[in-house]
Amino acid sequence: MIIKPVLPIKYVFNEIKVSLLVVLLIVLVTDIPVIFFSHHYTEIPLTIPTTLGIAISILISFKVNQSYDRWWEARKIWGAIVNDSRTLVMQLKMYTETDCPMIKTMALRQIAWCYSLGQSLRGQDPFDNLKGLIPEEELKKLLSQNNVPLGILDLQTDSLKELYDEGKLDKFSRLQLEETMERLTASMGKCERIKNTVFPTTYRKGLHLAIYLFVIFLSLTEPLNLSIFIEVPVLVILSMVFFFLEKAAFRLQDPFENRPTDTPVTSISRTIDINIKQLIGETDLPKPIEPKDFYIM
Amino acid sequence: MIIKPVLPIKYVFNEIKVSLLVVLLIVLVTDIPVIFFSHHYTEIPLTIPTTLGIAISILISFKVNQSYDRWWEARKIWGAIVNDSRTLVMQLKMYTETDCPMIKTMALRQIAWCYSLGQSLRGQDPFDNLKGLIPEEELKKLLSQNNVPLGILDLQTDSLKELYDEGKLDKFSRLQLEETMERLTASMGKCERIKNTVFPTTYRKGLHLAIYLFVIFLSLTEPLNLSIFIEVPVLVILSMVFFFLEKAAFRLQDPFENRPTDTPVTSISRTIDINIKQLIGETDLPKPIEPKDFYIM
Amino acid sequence: MIIKPVLPIKYVFNEIKVSLLVVLLIVLVTDIPVIFFSHHYTEIPLTIPTTLGIAISILISFKVNQSYDRWWEARKIWGAIVNDSRTLVMQLKMYTETDCPMIKTMALRQIAWCYSLGQSLRGQDPFDNLKGLIPEEELKKLLSQNNVPLGILDLQTDSLKELYDEGKLDKFSRLQLEETMERLTASMGKCERIKNTVFPTTYRKGLHLAIYLFVIFLSLTEPLNLSIFIEVPVLVILSMVFFFLEKAAFRLQDPFENRPTDTPVTSISRTIDINIKQLIGETDLPKPIEPKDFYIM
Amino acid sequence: MIIKPVLPIKYVFNEIKVSLLVVLLIVLVTDIPVIFFSHHYTEIPLTIPTTLGIAISILISFKVNQSYDRWWEARKIWGAIVNDSRTLVMQLKMYTETDCPMIKTMALRQIAWCYSLGQSLRGQDPFDNLKGLIPEEELKKLLSQNNVPLGILDLQTDSLKELYDEGKLDKFSRLQLEETMERLTASMGKCERIKNTVFPTTYRKGLHLAIYLFVIFLSLTEPLNLSIFIEVPVLVILSMVFFFLEKAAFRLQDPFENRPTDTPVTSISRTIDINIKQLIGETDLPKPIEPKDFYIM
Amino acid sequence: MIIKPVLPIKYVFNEIKVSLLVVLLIVLVTDIPVIFFSHHYTEIPLTIPTTLGIAISILISFKVNQSYDRWWEARKIWGAIVNDSRTLVMQLKMYTETDCPMIKTMALRQIAWCYSLGQSLRGQDPFDNLKGLIPEEELKKLLSQNNVPLGILDLQTDSLKELYDEGKLDKFSRLQLEETMERLTASMGKCERIKNTVFPTTYRKGLHLAIYLFVIFLSLTEPLNLSIFIEVPVLVILSMVFFFLEKAAFRLQDPFENRPTDTPVTSISRTIDINIKQLIGETDLPKPIEPKDFYIM
């Protein structure tokens, strides 16, 4: 998540450099006749690119809208994960004996699940950060699993069953805990849905095409046949505003890609880490994740 | 679901070829007087098609919006089917004895239901992929059913009743399983609603008409009486952007049509297949569905 | 619900004939001076009607949006009615003895409720189609009721109470059935809300006025002082696109008016009819509703 | 709620008279130099007010959208109140003995609550219509309460407790009734939220300012320096369309203000009145609320 | 929450003063050549800034939309807090003995939680207003907590456990109270989500840039080369409308910043204070929060 209001130039430049190159190329090609013959072969009325420009604005606005919704939905899901993780530990404390060792085991495993889910959504190593949270032998078992967070959830379910079979949990309390586990599973499923569903690409192609057409037509319009030293920057700046907004929307639409615009799952997991450890009376708490430069992961 | 950012030209061409032909015809007819008499019989001010162009953008934007919502809703429903299918099997494992043979029977039948629902939504053979998942005699019974997935769900309910009558399931656990079954039935109903509800066609007709008017008026405007070798490509490209975006929206709005833009129900069913078989300890797992060319079904 | 992509000309004409007449009148009046004096008394710059045209597009887009939402909500409610009607019968079968005669009585009455609700929402005779579904004596009692579907629901509740009092239903199962009944009552209430809530008329008036102003100003603009044989069709076609879209939205916003654009409640009720009769083992099934011409009711 | 498609001129005029006056003043002031010197001191290009006009349309469209959502939410809440009030009485009938006198007491009190909530939301006397529904002594107690509907709900809760303490209601049935009461309390809270939350005024100010600027710039543009007898009506009509739409949105956004555009809470309460009295077998039913002129309260 | 329809000039000026300065600077720089050489070095056609103006309107409209949604969501969450706080106390009264001293303790602590949550969301001292609501010794314990409202909720949970362990609460009633507590915890989590999630800044930067470009291009267009005494105010007023609307949206998007546009959490907490104290029969009630100038906190 980007947290600073001012973005580094380098970041902005990286986001738009490909489009910038294409636009410069277009302007160059369309303006070669101007340089050699002092006029275009043809002249397109200014209203054509103007109309295209408005159409592009409308379409970008739609895209920003839908991308924002995806991003906000991802954030809501992780908000629910925070709540349900805390609830799980609080319910365990309430329903079992105070000195039950399973509370700590499950609490630490819940922290591990959060880290692991965040990492695997981003395509990173899902075993990162798990040291000290899950015993060595369980870690070995998880190595053979494709979906590590799902494996951790399974271990949680097994522990619940164990508690119930040993009579440390009554039927009614088990139900409450199961419902919390179900909500956590559903949250994981929702994250996977967002991660695995490609935002309709046909739409994006149409939009890109429209912006390039906008640049071509605009560079061919008569009234813009000003000095070429004025025309080029005007064209470049205008199209870059469009491309930057489109790119900003594009970044929002995929919130688990290990990029600065991601939902800050590592930072949220750390918060859960601290909260849960406080709940079970640990005193050696980790520090909150620090922002990197202008963003937080 | 289209997964590649670059679409094959052939696919794009197929999507717009009819509109392309009509537009070419319009341009030809309106430009015949230009060719023979060097001028139009009449000239329409450029602001008229410009206004139409903006109006069309606004209307397409609305359509993309609603179509996207239908598509996203379809995806959410299938996300819920994934979750509830897994939950059904996990609940069966938790509430019955470990060696109960019904667990495997119902688990495989649940996989069959997913495949069958996906196929019948797409108007394909609902018995595809069912071999080995449902015993021969049950398959025969299903042959007489109009709605095969509904028939499979009925079999699941019967099995639940059997388990309960034989005392292998207590009242409370039955309720939990019934609620899962209810959610699965509701998801099926929602898919059928999306499949059977025609997106308002009046609206689409109005939009198409507007795009054709846009082309006619634009080709009759004075300032565009450039060389006909410039005018024709400009007109065609502009209208094709509109038609392509409209078509992209049209594809999204019907997500169960056995087309590349479909919700990837076969692929999702296969994921459920693999997950459930892992849950019941099977080792002979099918492979995930491979993308075909630029899309995945 | 309109199901054919191509609408009959007659239907489209009927939808816009009043507006068409008014527009023709406006054009005639504003062009009389042109005919007699070869020029308008005054000339309005083209940008004025252009701006109005864009404003109208934005407002129509909003209206289509809200109308579509109402229409889609109506469809969702009837989707829930399908699900809950089936569930009611399945729950009855599961919770009572197999040979309990009340199952059939309540199942048929549930079908009757669907037909009756559809009819009364459309302001049609609510006793249509009820023959054979409800016994004569109950029909007589219903005659004195204002709200027939509500009366039928009451009969269902009475039957449930009877089953419970006779000990054929335990407390727990009664609760499940009551919850299904509650959802059906809520669906009825939602349909009535949509039916009885007039879409804000002030808004529609403002929009109509704007379209007429658009026509007036456009016909008074200088650059359009083309031959009157060109100007009139351009004006008429442009305004008709607006009026047709507005009308299409208007039709969607009231989905229970016994018109081709209605939510197809009769057809949905017939589906429920067939499904429920199959569930209780009837073999004499009615046929699905056939589409009439280009739509289905 | 306005129910007639045609609004009385007087009503429309009242809605826009202030803005009309300001606009006339603006036109007068900006046109004084035209009258005396036959030309403006300055001339603004027409594109400036045109752009402003489009911007205003977009902003009004947003506002209509949000206002409509508030209005529709208010209507949904009252739809839920209808359902839950009926449910409350039906549950009472089902869970208690048929001759229990509390049924009638609580049913009438529920009607009273609806009337009282509607009145107090509109800032009217909350004791209106309560005669015959609540006994005199209870009315006296309510006089000392700030929030009368909340006081009535408290009386309902007390009655439930009484029924339970006297053993006329079992634990399980009490829970069901409590849940219905909870939903009614939540609906009241939601109405109060809509009533007490001022729609962001900063936004409205910006919009008004933009419309006035639109009028000023439009009256200063060169191409509109037509005869002043044409310019003034064009300006006034155009701006009045904007102001009327903005006002229409403004009216929708506050649905409990005792105005014709209100959610028709009195009429809905009367429907509840009739329904509940029928449910408890009363025969002396009140008449439905008649529309006043072009609206219903 | 701003409650007065007319805003003080000073407030409006403060909101836009930075942008105003930048715009004045831009106008100055671009107009220096006009002053010294009576003409611009270059002239940009008016359609360019016009198109930008429309694009900006569309993007602002999107932003107002999303910001309004955040603001409205925050208001809904606090509406739920009001309901659940009242419900908690009413449930305590219903499920425990009338003279149980824990009722008052927990009721006052609930009030304290609301004040404390509001304060800590705004980054103010979370111990403000807590005097008399929480005993001294508990306050001391809370001092060591990072998250004070979470600490207060923990105290509530402990009290519930105590009541249950002492046999003053049965299993069933405890569940009801726990569910209320869970909803309160979820509401707190949602507030924190809104507070901690930065609205995408990339988007805002793009919008600001576009407005500045709009001013630059507009000041360089030929037709606006009027007297500089006309051009400057036109430019400044136009851009200020954009900046003011953008700022209004910006203010809405962060509703817990201790600013006049905040969700009025102090005022809502006071209402809860009064309501709960009335419910437990206190007579010494605090006064409602008075609006400060044009807003209420």
pLDDT tens-digit map of B21-78: 888 888 888 777 666 665 555 667 777 888 888 888 888 888 888 888 999 999 999 9
Q: CA of D85, closest CA in chain C: separation in Å? A: 12
Does C5 contact B189 at a Cβ distance shorter than 8 Å?
Answer: no
∠ CA(A49), CA(A53), CA(A55), 5° rounding? 115
Residues of chain A under the 50 pLDDT cut: none
Report the mean per-residue pLDDT for chain E.
85
Most confident among E74-78, E127-131, E285-289 (mean pLDDT): E74-78
Q: Residue E158 CA to chain centroid, in angstroms?
A: 31
Is D260:D2 a contact under the CB 8 Å cutoff? yes
Chains in contact with chain E (at least 3 beta-carbon pairs closer than 8 A): A, D
Does B42 contact C75 at a Cβ distance shorter than 8 Å?
Answer: no
Q: CA of C193, closest CA in chain D: separation in Å? A: 6
Give dist(CA E292, CA E281) in Å, integer: 30
Interface of C with D (CB under 8 A): 42-45, 47-48, 50-52, 54-55, 58-59, 61-62, 65-66, 157, 161, 171, 182, 185-186, 189-190, 192-193, 197-198, 200-206, 209-210, 213, 217
* Dihedral class, residue C123 (left if φ above 0, else alpha if ψ from -120 to 50, else beta): left
Looking at residue B290, its pLDDT comes to: 87
Looking at residue B227, its pLDDT comes to: 63
Beta-bridge partners for D44: D221
The three-class DSSP label of residue D292 is strand
Is A12:A251 a contact under the CB 8 Å cutoff? no
Measured from the Cβ of residue B226, the count of other Cβ atoms closer than 10 Å reads: 15
Reported ipTM: 0.85
Give dist(CA A195, CA A256) in Å, integer: 7
The pLDDT tens digits of the residues spanning D236-263 come to 888 888 888 888 888 888 999 988 888 9
pLDDT of E55 above 70: yes
Most confident among A258-262, B136-140, C103-107, C124-128 (mean pLDDT): C103-107
- Mean pLDDT to the nearest integer, D116-144: 89
Give dist(CA A165, CA A142) in Å, integer: 24
The three-class DSSP label of residue B292 is strand
Burial A251-272 (b: 16+ CB within 10 A, else e): bbbbbbeeebbbbbbbbbbbbb
Q: Give E294 or B74, the one with higher predicted confidence.
A: B74
Beta-bridge partners for E221: E44
Give dist(CA D187, CA D181) in Å, integer: 10
Q: Residue A135 CA to chain centroid, in angstroms?
A: 30
User: What is the chain C residue with the closest CA to B55?
Assistant: C57
Percentage of the residues of chain C whose pLDDT score is greater than 90: 20
Does E245 contact D206 at a Cβ distance shorter than 8 Å?
Answer: yes
The pair of structure tokens assigned to E155 is: 């105290």
Q: Which of B56, B64, B238 sits opposite A62 (nearest CB)?
A: B64
Q: Which of E54, E182, E202 sits opposite A7 (nearest CB)?
A: E202
Handedness of CA C184, C187, C188, C189 (dihedral sign): positive
The pLDDT tens digits of the residues spanning B192-238 come to 999 988 888 877 878 888 888 888 888 877 655 556 667 778 888 88
Looking at residue E93, its pLDDT comes to: 84
Chain E residues with beta carbon closer than 8 angstroms to that of D150:
275
Does C1 contact B198 at a Cβ distance shorter than 8 Å?
Answer: yes
* Dihedral class, residue B69 (left if φ above 0, else alpha if ψ from -120 to 50, else beta): alpha
Give dist(CA D91, CA D88) in Å, integer: 5
Looking at residue A227, its pLDDT comes to: 63
Is C64:D66 a contact under the CB 8 Å cutoff? no
pLDDT of E226 above 70: no
pLDDT of E176 above 90: no
Percentage of the residues of chain D whose pLDDT score is greater than 70: 94
Q: Alpha helices, DSSP H only, in B96-170?
A: 102-121, 136-143, 148-165
Q: Give B6 or E255, the one with higher predicted confidence.
A: E255
E-strand stretches of chain B: none
Chains in contact with chain C (at least 3 beta-carbon pairs closer than 8 A): B, D
Looking at residue A36, its pLDDT comes to: 67
Interface of D with E (CB under 8 A): 41-45, 47-48, 50-52, 54-55, 58-59, 61-62, 65-66, 150, 157, 161, 171, 182, 185-186, 189-190, 192-193, 197-198, 200-206, 209-210, 213, 217
Give dist(CA C94, CA B67) in Å, integer: 39
- Mean pLDDT to the nearest integer, B273-286: 86
Looking at residue D190, its pLDDT comes to: 93
Q: Which of A54, A64, A82 sits opposite E189 (nearest CB)?
A: A82
Looking at residue D195, its pLDDT comes to: 92
Give dist(CA B75, CA B68) in Å, integer: 10
How many CB pairs below 8 Å do chains A and E form together?
Answer: 103
Is E252:D200 a contact under the CB 8 Å cutoff? yes
Give dist(CA E80, CA E190) in Å, integer: 11
Phi, psi of E245 (to 5 degrees): -65, -45
- Mean pLDDT to the nearest integer, E164-186: 85
Give dist(CA D186, CA C131) in Å, integer: 42
Q: CA of C154, closest CA in chain B: separation in Å? A: 25
Residue D172 carries which side chain, given as an amino acid letter? F
Q: Which of C25-34, C90-99, D156-165, D207-216 has the lowest mean pLDDT?
A: C25-34
Q: CA of C132, closest CA in chain B: separation in Å? A: 25
User: What is the chain E residue with the closest CA to D172?
Assistant: E172
pLDDT tier at B297, thresholds 50, 70, 90: confident
pLDDT of D225 above 60: no
Task: Return the axis-axis angle of helices C101-121 and C47-95, rounded to nearest 10°.
Answer: 170
Looking at residue A224, its pLDDT comes to: 54
Q: Which residue has the tokens 């009376």?
A: A281
Looking at residue B242, its pLDDT comes to: 87
Give dist(CA D133, CA E150) in Å, integer: 45
Q: CA of E170, closest CA in chain A: separation in Å? A: 13
Number of H helices, E strands in chain B: 9, 0
Does C185 contact D230 at a Cβ distance shorter than 8 Å?
Answer: no
- Mean pLDDT to the nearest integer, C171-193: 87
The three state secondary structure string of chain C is: CECCCCCCHHHHHHHHHHHHHHHHHHHHHHHHHHHHHCCCCCCECCHHHHHHHHHHHHHHHHHHHHHHHHHHHHHHHHHHHHHHHHHHHHHHHHHCCCCCHHHHHHHHHHHHHHHHHHHHHCCCCCCCCCCCCCCHHHHHHHHCCCCHHHHHHHHHHHHHHHHHHCCCCCHHHHHHHHHHHHHHHHHHHHHHHHHHCCCCHHHHHHHHHHHHHHHHHHHHEHHHCCCHHHHHHHHHHHHHHHHHHHHHHHHHHCCCCCCCCCCCHHHHHHHHHHHHHHHCCCCCCCCCCCCECCECC
pLDDT tier at D133, thresholds 50, 70, 90: very high
On the 0-12 / 13-18 / 19+ scale of CB atoms within 10 A, A91 is middle
DSSP conformation class of D295? B
Q: Which of E59, E192, E200 sits opposite A57 (nearest CB)?
A: E59
Q: Cβ neighbours of residue C192 under 8 Å, at least 6 residues apart?
A: C121, D79
DSSP string across D24-68: HHHHHHHHHHHHHHSS-S--B-THHHHHHHHHHHHHHHHHHHHHH
Residue-range domain boundaries for chain B = 87-198+258-280
Q: Which of A43, A198, A209 sits opposite B2 (nearest CB)?
A: A198
Task: Report the length, in residues, of chain B.
Answer: 297
Looking at residue B38, its pLDDT comes to: 58
Q: Which of D40, D165, D201 to mutate to test the interface with E (most CBs of E within 10 A)?
A: D201
Beta-bridge partners for B221: B44
- Mean pLDDT to the nearest integer, D56-82: 89
The pLDDT tens digits of the residues spanning C281-290 come to 888 888 888 8
Handedness of CA D153, D159, D162, D164 (dihedral sign): negative
- Mean pLDDT to the nearest integer, C89-98: 83
Looking at residue C32, its pLDDT comes to: 73
Looking at residue C228, its pLDDT comes to: 66
Give dist(CA B208, CA B214) in Å, integer: 10
Looking at residue E267, its pLDDT comes to: 92
The pLDDT tens digits of the residues spanning C228-277 come to 667 778 888 888 888 888 888 888 889 999 888 889 999 999 989 988 88
Task: Report the length, in residues, of chain E.
Answer: 297
